[in-house]
Structures are given as structure tokens and as C-alpha cells.
Amino acid sequence: MSVKPMSYPLMEKLVALSRRRGFLFKSSEIYDGINAVYDYGPMGVELKRNIKNLWWQDMITSREDVLGMDTAILMHPRVWEASGHVQNFHDPMTECKKCKRRYRVDHLPENTAVCPECGGELAEPKQFNLMFKTRLGSTDEGAMDVYLRPETAQGIFVNFDNVVSSNRVKLPFGIGQLGKAFRNEITTGNFIFRTREFEQMEMEFFIRPGENAQWLEYWSQERLKWFVSLGIAPEKLRLRPHGKDELAHYSSACYDVEYEFPYGFSEIEGIADRGTYDMTQHIEFSRKNLHYIDQDQRGEKIVPAVIETSAGVDRTVLTVMADAFWEDETNDRIVMRFAPKVAPFKAAVFPLFKKEGMPDVARRLYEDLRKHVATVYDDGGSIGKRYRRQDEIGTPFCLTVDHESLNDHAVTLRDRDSLEQVRLRILSDS
Ligand code: GAP
């Protein structure tokens, strides 16, 4: 189905809130922006960083069987020949002969021959390669064509032997990384759902061939649970197996974790059985011995198979934001109901008035709190305005210092979602 960008009220509200509160801006906005590229503002970068840190913590730090890496965006061009991206990383594209708009053929209703925007005739579909090409080297003669990586995974495959020979690892084990990827998408839109520059959180899990089905099932369930752990409503998440016609050129089976956006269930992560495809290709193209030597099986040489988990950071940010957005009509406010662990700030401290010692107590409380959790100090405008501001950036707890606080060493703690207020003792200086 063709989807017009920004045609859904929730998406439009998210775009407006993101701009108003500093989550996301169009890249190069003062020059009218650049299509499908976004900058994260002060609130957005905190939200995004929290998501990336949680992924790293849950997928790498807390697991004995997964190691981390951070590989370069630019790689030798042979990598992309070996991986099959030069030959296969295409989308079918058509162009309107009248208005010149371009469409992905698989995003149009079946057998459409006319432009959905102007009714003009659509040209014969062509295959369009999604990789961005650039030149590496200072002189024209010495320069070579290289690509901005369209997935982070290849950096892991080409380093398989480096990791195995420099670390004590045994199959099955994983290597994960997060970083930028680039795709010259034909159709973009729905805010940061499909952009041309984005980040991925990928993990390649190396296994003995034959164990594919059990690990595909294991990682699909693990990854679905991870999104629930971010506070996303479980009933809006699902796992969907790919049909044979949807599979990428390297994969023999795949599950998508999908979230129900206003425009329908859409992929936020893919869990794919890449089999031995990538390792076999790199062995052939590089002529290097990238086999795993199984010491437990008297030195048997194995080409490991791979189960991949591949999530988009930006799609996760969008999912978390779409799921958290709440128009509380009873109280006439907009609230981002983020789980505290992803919220940009966990607490806000307000002095009720900028006088009579209140700011001193409030600042001391703020300085204490920020040593432990991300905290914001706000003394601008009415208390109601300050609450609204924090609601819109999703701060779960607001603490107000008032006249009484000076005597009873207590503050009013207000819960973002229930609006319940309780009096909470804070430690006095003595
Ligand atoms: N290494 C496998 C791979 O890249 P993919 O399904 O093409 O698989 C994985 O991408 C994830 O990367 C997607 O589930 C999505 O979250 C994210 N992603 C892919 N293309 C994107 C784009 N143009 N904009 C934002 N995120 C994107």
C-alpha cells in the first residue's frame, strides 16, 4: 500500500512535540532540511542513548556468550561484492513520467499503472541499488569507489577470525555492535521510520550448522521480550514470520518484531537465519581461512552458521515515542508515558518560588539527585507550566520545594501518570 508521509494524526503530533521539546529536528533545517535525515536534540539524544545503553547492557554486558565490537563505516569494496549487496541490494523502482515522483513498486497497490499523486503514466520498473557510493583517496587516479555501509553486520563477519583468535570463545557465541548505516531509500517518510541515515543494533550469533531452527526461535522470543522490557505495550507487538518471497538474499528464514503504528504493523527488528551464507562468501572472496576450529571435536573445521538479530535504533525511538504518547483530556495535557529507564530525565526539581530560601534547598536536592539519576532543575514560570513541560518530555517524578520544606525537610513528589502527590522527607544537612 502506498503511504503518504505525515498523513496520520499521531505521527503529526509526534513531529510537532519532537520539535517543540527538542527531541528531533529536520537535518539542516535552516536550509529547508534534507529529505529523510534527522538530527536528535537534547531530549532525543538522551532517549536514544538510554535505548542504546539498554541494548548494550542486555545483549552484551550481561551475557557471557556475546562480545561487543565497533567496526568502521567504510570497508573494502570487495566486502559488498562478497556479501551480495552490489548485486542484490535493490528495490524495484518506478517513476511518474509526468510529475517525476519516484515509488517503490512493492509500496504501490498491485498492477498500478498510474501515479497515485497526479495520475500520470508510470515508467517500466527498474532495479535501484540502495547503497551510497563515495570516493576514497585524495587523487582521482588513486581514488577508489567505496560504499557507506548499508548494514553493520559485515564488519562483524570480516572480523570473525580476529575475534576468535584474540578471545577465548567457543561456539555458540555472538558478536554485537551498534552504529550508523546508510541506505538511499526510494521512498521515505513516516518521520524517522524510514530514513537515509540511521543506526542499527546488530548481533551475529555463530552456531554449529544444524542448530539454526532452535536458535532462531530462541532469539526471536528474546528480542520480542526486550521490547516489552522497554515499557512498550505487549498487545501492540508481534512476531511475524517472513513469507518466502520476502526473504533477503542472504536469509533462509526470518521473523520480524513488528509494532502496530497508526499506519499498520511494521518491522522494528528482524531476526534472520543467515545460515553459512556470509562466512562462505567471505572465505571464497578473501581466500582467507575463516573456519572455526572445534578443539572439542579433535580440530574439526567448521564454517559456522549465523542467526542475526538486527534492530533499528531510530525505529525503536519512534516506537517508544508512539507508544508513550498520551493526550490526557481530563487534565488537558500531553504526557509522554516513558518507562523511567528510557525517559530522558528521571526527576525534576522545582522551587515553588525564587525566594525565601527555597532555591537553596531545591538546588541542594538537585545536586544530590543528579549524582544518581538524570535530573533537571526548573525554576521558570508557574508551577503548572513547569509540570506541563516535564509531562511532555516524560519525566516520571517532579519534586517541589515549598515554604513547608524549609521547616519539615520534606518535598511534594508528584507522579506523572496518576498525578498523585505525596509528601516525601529529604535528608537534612545535619
Ligand atoms: N543486517 C540485516 C539488516 O540490515 P534489515 O531488515 O534491512 O536487516 C534491520 O534492517 C533493521 O534496521 C530494521 O528492522 C529497521 O529497524 C532498521 N532499518 C532498516 N532500514 C532502515 C531505514 N531506512 N530507516 C530506519 N531504520 C531502518
Tell me the CA–centroid distance for residue 380 and ligand 1, in Å.
41
Span 316-337, mean pLDDT? Answer: 97
- For residue 1, the model assigns a pLDDT of 38
Instruction: Indicate which residue's Cα is closest to atom 18 of ligand 1.
Output: 312
Q: How confident is the model at residue 111 (pLDDT cuts 50, 70, 90)?
A: confident
9-75+150-323 with 345-425: one CATH topology?
A: no
Instruction: Indicate which residue's Cα is closest to atom 4 of ligand 1.
Output: 151
**What's the CATH code, domain 345-425?**
3.40.50.800
What does pTM read for this prediction? 0.94
Tell me the CA–centroid distance for residue 314 and ligand 1, in Å.
10
Tell me the CA–centroid distance for residue 66 and ligand 1, in Å.
21
Instruction: Indicate which residue's Cα is closest to atom 17 of ligand 1.
Output: 312
* Residues, the chain: 430
Q: From the alpha carbon of 269, which atom of ligand 1 is closest? A: 14
Tell me the CA–centroid distance for residue 247 and ligand 1, in Å.
13
Q: From the alpha carbon of 185, which atom of ligand 1 is closest? A: 23
Tell me the CA–centroid distance for residue 364 and ligand 1, in Å.
45
Give per-residue pLDDT as tens, 342-383.
999 999 999 998 877 878 999 999 999 999 999 999 999 999
Indicate if the pLDDT at residue 5 is higher than 60.
Answer: no
- Cis bond before residue 77 (omega within 30° of 0): no
**DSSP SS3 for 353:** coil
The CA distances from residue 78 to 128, 160, 205, 287, 419, in Å, are 20, 16, 23, 12, 58
Pocket of ligand 1 (CB under 6 A): 151, 153, 183, 185, 194-195, 198, 200, 202, 267-270, 308, 310-312, 314-315
Tell me the CA–centroid distance for residue 313 and ligand 1, in Å.
9
Instruction: Indicate which residue's Cα is closest to atom 19 of ligand 1.
Output: 312
Q: Which CATH number fits domain 9-75+150-323: 3.30.70.1280, 3.40.50.150, 3.30.1490.20, 3.30.930.10?
A: 3.30.930.10
For the chain, the domains span 9-75+150-323, 345-425
Q: Which residue has the higher pLDDT, 359 or 11?
A: 11
Q: Give the alpha-carbon dihedral of 244, 246, 247, 248, to 10 degrees.
A: 150
Instruction: Indicate which residue's Cα is closest to atom 12 of ligand 1.
Output: 312
Exposure string for 89-105, b = 16+ CB within 10 A, e = fewer? bbbebbbbeeeeeebbb
Indicate if the pLDDT at residue 430 is higher than 60.
Answer: no
Tell me the CA–centroid distance for residue 428 and ligand 1, in Å.
51
Q: How confident is the model at residue 142 (pLDDT cuts 50, 70, 90)?
A: confident
Q: From the alpha carbon of 256, which atom of ligand 1 is closest? A: 14
Contact 194, 215 (CB under 8 A): no
Q: Which alpha helices (H) appear in 301-404, and where do they start and end?
A: 313-324, 358-370, 383-393
